[in-house]
Amino acid sequence: MERRDLLRALASAAALSIIPRKDALAAWSRVAEDALGPTNGLNDPQMALVRAVADTILPRTDTPSATDVGVDRFVNVIVSEFLSDEERTKGLAGLDAIDAKARADNNVVFTELSPEARGKFIESIESGPRDAEPAQTYWRLKSLIVHGYFTSEPVMKDVLKTQIMFPDFQGSAPVTIKKKPSTIKVPASDHMEHAHG
């Protein structure tokens, strides 16, 4: 898929994502604070599969690839910490189903395919029915990858040019206070007392 098509599809991809925006931001915070990732996260072959799928969907061009911005680690945090046990179990089985299909079609797992073969494999999944495995897991994974990519700080700042922080707050900026003239009238008797005092 062309990058410009993905940019066009950003709004719909975000809407279709399986996680709310606040959870995406929380997941990116977890990625930033823990470079090693969750201890109960995806295993090495599953992470390799996620990286390969992510960079096939969003390869490096004049903009960073999915793994350049850490989408694989984002997916790992979402799967490990934001999904229910049932969703996680189903998702992990679905990742295994993607590799099983790659092996059945090409005699090797997805990560061992050439970049061209990876693209063709993904096209075959995308052109088929979505209601059975491994297509169900693929589409959920793609949604997570695209959502994670477009909510990552590098893409928001450098690709989409989105301002993600408020402008600098200048607490010591000078403030001019304009005083209103007093409207209090002094009674005439007070003037007299001061004058004779």
- CB neighbour class for 7 (10 Å; exposed up to 12, middle 13-18, buried from 19): middle
pTM comes to 0.70
State pLDDT tens for residues 4-26. Answer: 455 545 544 444 455 666 676 77
Supply the DSSP symbol for 179: P
State the Cα–Cα distance between residues 141 and 114, nearest whole angstrom.
20
**Given this model, what pLDDT does residue 193 score?**
52
**Given this model, what pLDDT does residue 137 score?**
94
State the Cα–Cα distance between residues 50 and 110, nearest whole angstrom.
10
State the Cα–Cα distance between residues 129 and 140, nearest whole angstrom.
14
State pLDDT tens for residues 54-81. Answer: 999 999 988 899 999 989 999 998 888 8
CA atoms within 13 A on the CB side of 162: 9
Please name which of 40, 27, 23, 111 lies closest in space to residue 73, comparing C-alpha atoms.
Answer: 27
Helix (H, G, I), strand (E, B) or coil at 10: helix
Whether pLDDT at 168 is above 70: no
